[in-house]
Amino acid sequence: MASLAITAEAWVRHLLALIMVFLVALNLVALVGRHFPWYALSWADEVMTFAMVWGVALGLFSVSLRKAHLSMDLLFISLPRGARRVLEVLIATVTIGVTGFVMLQSWRFIQAMAQVDMRSMAAQMPMAIPHSALLIGFGLIIIAMLVRLYLTLAGIDLSSRFQHEEKGGK
């Protein structure tokens, strides 16, 4: 399970890199286009904003899996190992519950957007597409937390595996 999680997280990071390349390329084309009125891409800024939102949403998986988010862990690190495991299980469970609630609200909002065929102003993109980033991002948080929960209960420390991977280990 840990190897699969690390592989999935690497794929997400590769996808994020592709989004960044797309953003840089589109920004460059839009920049050049601003000097030629017949070539201007009026929709470029809007699409770049939506792509950045998708990048952040996809990055939630990596951040959640690695526990790389901001946290106040002074109390946590001072607890004995058993108490830390209990607290990790509690945190994962609460996160899954709250994130599931947010996903439900996001799904309802996306349905409303799709029902009225709300579109962006410049690109005429259905607004359900950029708003779906939140649904997918929070879904990825749930997957990451389920993996962390399973590994915590199995006594496997995923953080040390990521540190090993970052140092070039396999």
What domain range is 129 assigned to? 2-166
Amino acid code (one letter) for 21: V
Q: Which of 18-22, 34-38, 87-91, 146-150 has the lowest mean pLDDT?
A: 34-38
Percent of the chain with pLDDT over 90: 74
163: Cα separation from own chain's centroid: 20
The pLDDT score that the predictor gives to residue 145 is: 96
- What is the number of domains present in the chain? 1
Calculate the average pLDDT of the chain.
91
The reply to whether the predicted model has a pTM over 0.85 is yes
3-state secondary structure of 1: coil
Residue 155 to residues 29, 151, 163, Cα–Cα distance (Å): 50, 6, 17
| β-bridge partners, 126 | 119
Residue with tokens 């991977």: 165
Reported as a single tens digit per residue, the pLDDT across 100-141 is 999 999 999 999 999 999 999 999 999 999 999 999 999 999
Token readout for 31 is 């920049």
Confidence at residue 165, expressed as pLDDT on a 0 to 100 scale = 65
Residue 170 confidence (pLDDT) above 60? no
pLDDT in tens, 37-61: 777 788 999 999 999 999 999 999 9
Residue 164 has pLDDT above 70, yes or no: no
